């Protein structure tokens, strides 16, 4: 018998000799929990998007919504940012999160990927993995499977003892993630399933894919429960699954009751009555459901991912509020009340009251003390790496942040057009210390005209990784300058590059930045705003809160109380384009102009 797992002093049984039978099973089209009829009423809440001091609060809000289960992805890159450096402590303590779920009375569904999408950087894959030359991601490529095998050796021993059959909260484990939207390598899925079983998973294993034949054909596995992910038309999804999988219970593994936001787009919302109506439709079909998201949380630091629409990158913003029933700061919404009423009517059980909404700091203006010039700061940071051609982020061992490139080409008399081939993602171009252009990938390919006198110039290009693609065929694409820099037809060579891992910066690196002081008598949640600023990054007491950008939609950044301390708190700002005069505190979140979005698969 293994030692009991504990959290906050409470013990959870972890008997290795416990019965191997799944606590959650199904028969005749319905779920059974320890042999009794059961309906899964779940909500997605990602431990990596919520400050760990707030995990219990948010889990208790799921209970108050009427849910009996929490589901979470496991983000591989959150735990193994560098190959072989595994971290399951502090914010990354998955076992503690799951044990807290058990304490508040929730079952748990774990979704270990290893690919998770989730609008999370690189779909959860570490950059060192996707940067492996020639690797076949999400396939039966042995190089890929060998890496997953090593990762699962670290992960599975942490979740297996927490299965329901051993006294823990885990009742189900998802196989891969919406694989039918990506590929059709059945050998890959079979290997993943066998690997979970070999690693000790005895609870229910299931697949989750969109509600179309194309997606179900690619992602479902014979003998495993097939579920669907969707935002509308529950009846159609139920019919599709029942036609394909007779005798299996109908489950919506992700009900998209809201949606995420890209920078520059509107704030996507879903009417409370519409979201609650789809929940009611699923329950009327006798189905089970998991709300995606029940509580969205925040893409702190540089963890937000990106999509690509075939023509342009669509980076995801810092807020992952997702118009969820439980708002980014934990507030209970009208959508929460509507969905709770539907669940109460279906179950005949009244859930407990939600904890009170966390207090918000009052509005204030915090004057900014100017730091050193942007280039003066960045030129002094990072070790210079000299290469004949511009190294990529992957060449530099950098997964996120900025790279400052420098070369000294001769610009001919009459000038020349500077082009950057395959820029990923955004470049600020300086000539002799003067900003001359800000370019995205499309603009960089067209180029910008530089004046010249036949003499060398100091050409500096500051490249920002705006988030690694998390969905689709461009998953795993590299960052930086991937295709070279040209002046007219001539390549620019002999480069110096400085890797700038912003989320690893400490007191020394932050010392030259603009800063403001926030004094509080008692820590409380806050919403920061940056009026007059352009685009940049903000730290609070040395913690990288995330990105801000004037194009929105979000105009405020959520600052959770645990990041503050009584007394003075220091806010640092790295502004890339235009510095404002003051950082403001707002009493309410401003997530931008709203637009209703409902995914229909049309």
20 pLDDT exceeds 70? no
Distance CA 321, CA 169 (A): 26
pLDDT, residue 21, reads 77
The answer to whether 535 and 576 are in contact (CB under 8 A) is yes
312, 433, 489, 498 from 419: Cα distances, Å: 17, 19, 9, 21
Q: Is 13 exposed, middle or buried (0-12, 13-18, 19+ CB in 10 A)?
A: middle
Pairing of strands 251-256, 288-295: parallel
Tokens of 129: 């993995």
43, 153, 265, 329 from 54: Cα distances, Å: 16, 29, 29, 10
DSSP state of 124: G
Mean pLDDT, the chain, whole residue set = 96
pLDDT, residue 134, reads 95
Tens-digit pLDDT profile for residues 121-154: 999 999 999 999 999 999 999 999 999 999 999 9
Q: Is the dihedral of CA 492, 498, 499, 505 positive or negative?
A: negative
519 pLDDT exceeds 60? yes
> What's the CATH class of domain 364-369+513-586?
mainly beta
| 357 Cβ contact list (under 8 Å, min separation 6) | 329, 330, 331, 332
pLDDT, residue 602, reads 83
State the pLDDT confidence band at 107, using cuts at 50, 70 and 90. Answer: very high
Q: Which residues pair with 10 in a beta bridge?
A: 7
395 pLDDT exceeds 70? yes
DSSP state of 361: P
323, 392, 450, 457 from 483: Cα distances, Å: 39, 9, 20, 21
pLDDT, residue 423, reads 98
Tens-digit pLDDT profile for residues 174-231: 999 999 999 999 999 999 999 999 999 999 999 999 999 999 999 999 999 999 999 9
16, 68, 411, 413, 450 from 453: Cα distances, Å: 76, 71, 6, 4, 10
300-323 average pLDDT score: 97
Tens-digit pLDDT profile for residues 89-100: 999 999 999 999
Per CATH, the number for 374-502 is: 2.60.120.260
Give the residue carrying structure tokens 């959870």: 12
Tokens of 141: 């490529």
Distance CA 208, CA 26 (A): 16
Tens-digit pLDDT profile for residues 537-554: 999 999 999 999 999 999
Nearest to 262 by CA among 466, 418, 533, 519: 466
Tokens of 266: 């509107």
330 pLDDT exceeds 60? yes
130, 426, 576 from 535: Cα distances, Å: 28, 12, 6
Distance CA 510, CA 518 (A): 17
Distance CA 78, CA 92 (A): 7
Would 364-369+513-586 and 374-502 be classified into the same CATH topology?
A: yes
Dihedral, CA of residue 564, residue 568, residue 573 and residue 578, to nearest 10: 120
Active site residues: 178, 254
Q: Is 160 exposed, middle or buried (0-12, 13-18, 19+ CB in 10 A)?
A: buried
The CATH-assigned architecture of domain 5-347 is Alpha-Beta Barrel (3.20)
Q: Is 91 exposed, middle or buried (0-12, 13-18, 19+ CB in 10 A)?
A: middle
Q: Is 432 exposed, middle or buried (0-12, 13-18, 19+ CB in 10 A)?
A: exposed
58 φ, ψ (degrees, to nearest 5):
-70, -35
Q: Is 232 exposed, middle or buried (0-12, 13-18, 19+ CB in 10 A)?
A: buried
This prediction has a pTM of 0.95
Distance CA 514, CA 152 (A): 43
Domain boundaries, the chain: 5-347, 364-369+513-586, 374-502
């Amino acid at each position: 018998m293994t030692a009991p797992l504990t959290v906050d002093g409470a013990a959870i049984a972890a008997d290795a000799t416990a019965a191997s039978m799944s606590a959650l099973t199904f028969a005749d089209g319905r779920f059974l929990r320890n042999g009794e009829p059961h309906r899964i009423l779940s909500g997605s809440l990602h431990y990596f998007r919520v400050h760990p001091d707030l995990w219990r609060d948010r889990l208790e809000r799921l209970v108050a919504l009427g849910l009996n289960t929490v589901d979470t992805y496991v983000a591989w890159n959150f735990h193994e940012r560098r190959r072989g450096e595994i971290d399951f402590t502090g914010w990354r303590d998955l076992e503690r999160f799951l044990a807290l779920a058990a304490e508040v009375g929730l079952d748990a569904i774990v979704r270990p990927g290893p690919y998770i999408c989730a609008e999370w950087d690189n779909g959860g894959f570490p950059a060192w993995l996707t940067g492996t030359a020639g690797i076949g991601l999400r396939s039966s490529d042995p190089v890929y499977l060998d890496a997953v095998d090593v990762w699962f050796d670290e992960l599975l021993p942490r979740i297996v003892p927490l299965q329901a059959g051993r006294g823990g909260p885990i009742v189900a484990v998802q196989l891969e993630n919406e694989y039918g939207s990506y590929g059709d390598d059945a050998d890959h899925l079979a290997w993943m399933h066998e690997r979970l079983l070999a690693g000790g998973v005895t609870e229910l294993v299931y697949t989750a894919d969109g509600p179309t034949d194309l997606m179900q054909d690619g992602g479902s596995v014979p003998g495993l429960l097939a579920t669907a992910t969707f935002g509308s038309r529950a009846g159609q999804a139920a019919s599709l699954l029942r036609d394909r999988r007779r005798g299996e219970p109908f489950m919506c593994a992700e009900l998209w009751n809201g949606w995420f936001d890209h920078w520059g787009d509107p704030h996507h919302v879903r009417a409370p009555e519409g979201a609650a109506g789809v929940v009611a439709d699923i329950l009327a079909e006798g189905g089970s459901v998991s709300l995606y998201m029940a509580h969205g949380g925040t893409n702190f630091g540089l963890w937000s991912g990106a999509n690509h629409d075939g023509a342009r990158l669509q980076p995801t913003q810092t807020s992952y509020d997702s118009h969820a029933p439980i708002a980014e700061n934990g507030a209970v919404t009208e959508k929460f009340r509507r969905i709770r009423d539907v669940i109460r009517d279906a179950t005949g059980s009244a859930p407990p009251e939600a904890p009170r909404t966390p207090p918000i700091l009052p509005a204030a203006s915090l004057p900014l003390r100017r730091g050193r010039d942007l280039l003066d700061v960045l030129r002094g940071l990072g070790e210079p790496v000299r290469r004949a051609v511009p190294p990529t982020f992957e060449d530099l061992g950098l997964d996120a942040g900025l790279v400052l490139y420098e070369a000294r080409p001769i610009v001919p008399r009459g000038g020349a057009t500077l082009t950057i081939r395959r820029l990923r993602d955004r470049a600020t171009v300086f000539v002799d210390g003067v900003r001359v252009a800000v370019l995205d990938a499309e603009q960089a390919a067209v180029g910008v005209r530089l004046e010249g006198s036949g003499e060398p110039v100091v050409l500096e290009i500051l490249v920002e990784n705006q988030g690694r693609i998390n969905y689709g065929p461009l998953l795993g694409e590299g960052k930086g300058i991937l295709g070279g820099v040209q002046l007219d037809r001539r390549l620019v060579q002999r480069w110096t590059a400085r890797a700038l891992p912003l989320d690893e910066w400490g007191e020394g690196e932050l010392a030259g930045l603009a800063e403001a002081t926030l004094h509080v008598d008692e820590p409380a949640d806050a919403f920061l705003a940056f009026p007059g600023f352009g685009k940049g990054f903000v730290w609070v007491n040395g913690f990288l809160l995330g990105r801000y950008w004037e194009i929105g939609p979000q105009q405020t950044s959520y600052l959770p109380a645990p990041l503050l301390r009584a007394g003075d708190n220091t806010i640092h700002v790295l502004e890339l384009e235009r510095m404002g005069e003051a950082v403001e505190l707002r009493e309410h979140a401003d997530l931008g102009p709203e637009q209703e979005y409902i995914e229909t698969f049309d």
